[in-house]
Amino acid sequence: MGKLIQRLQDASRSGVYRVAGSEEIMDAVRGSNLFLARIPFGLKEKLLQNIAAALDFPDWFGANWDALEDCLSDLPREGYVVLFDEAKPGDDLGILTDVLRSTAESWAGRGKPFFAVFIDPARRLALPDLFTKK
């Protein structure tokens, strides 16, 4: 088992991160018990729709930040890696990362991994790196 999949299966390391590309994560998760969702970023309404579709939210999802946090807290699988493409700094990103951090803390407290990872090859987002290449 590679170091990256070990990290992604470690609930205590759950959180919000950035990476330069998605290939290594997708390869690491393949064949594991983690659910991988890849979500295109967009303005709030489209972003929330994309998240709901990728994670198969219930019909009652209200498409607002509070409902997002509720639905993320009640996901049925044993662990998640959620990849976000093309995120741009701004208010929506700030609120989303707050919701994702709270969600990751909640999941970690239950001993289950939850990683929100933003694809950021230019390193523009103020997020820690998920891993570094040596």
Residue 36's DSSP bridge partners are 81
- Strand (E) positions, the chain? 15-19, 35-40, 80-85, 114-119
How would you list the strands of the sheet with 15-19, edge to edge?
Answer: 15-19, 114-119, 80-85, 35-40
Which domains, ranges and CATH numbers included, belong to the chain? 3-119 (3.30.370.10)
- pLDDT tens-digit readout, 53-108: 999 999 999 999 999 999 999 999 999 999 999 898 889 999 999 999 999 999 99
Question: How far, in Å, CA of 6 to CA of 39, rounded?
Answer: 23
- The SS3 call for residue 121 is coil
Residue count (the chain)? 134
Whose structure tokens read 């990728």?
54
Prediction pTM value = 0.96
